[in-house]
Amino acid sequence: MHLTAPATTRPGTRTRDADGMAVASFILGLLGLLVFNLFLGPTAIVLAAASLWRGTERRGRAYLGMGLGVADLLVLLAFVQVDNTVSWGF
């Protein structure tokens, strides 16, 4: 006896999910410039890449999220070079 539910997907769900990931990437990349850039930067990059791979209609937002994720890591690298620490604050 096999008790799994049939796989049903609504039309447009994949695109809507990809659009949500693009927006989340942008927001996390923006937040990562201020706090938790070691975690939020790579998360923004992965979400942007996944949303582009899934065919988001918000390509610009995904590219901005990816750019902000890279900027998060560059800001972290700059502060590590200046302070010789992995964390930074205001």
Euclidean distance between CA atoms 17 and 38, whole angstroms = 25
Question: What is the pLDDT at residue 52?
Answer: 92
Q: Where are the domains of the chain?
A: 15-82
Q: For residue 85, give both structure tokens.
A: 């620490």
Question: What is the pLDDT at residue 84?
Answer: 77
Q: Give the mean pLDDT of the chain.
A: 83
Reply yes or no on whether the pLDDT at 9 is more than 60: no
Reply yes or no on whether the pLDDT at 64 is more than 90: yes
pLDDT in tens, 32-62: 988 888 899 999 999 999 999 988 888 999 9
Euclidean distance between CA atoms 58 and 68, whole angstroms = 15
| Mean pLDDT value across residues 4-23 | 70
- Which H, E and C letters describe 57-88, residue by residue? CCHHHHHHHHHHHHHHHHHHHHHHHHHCCCCC
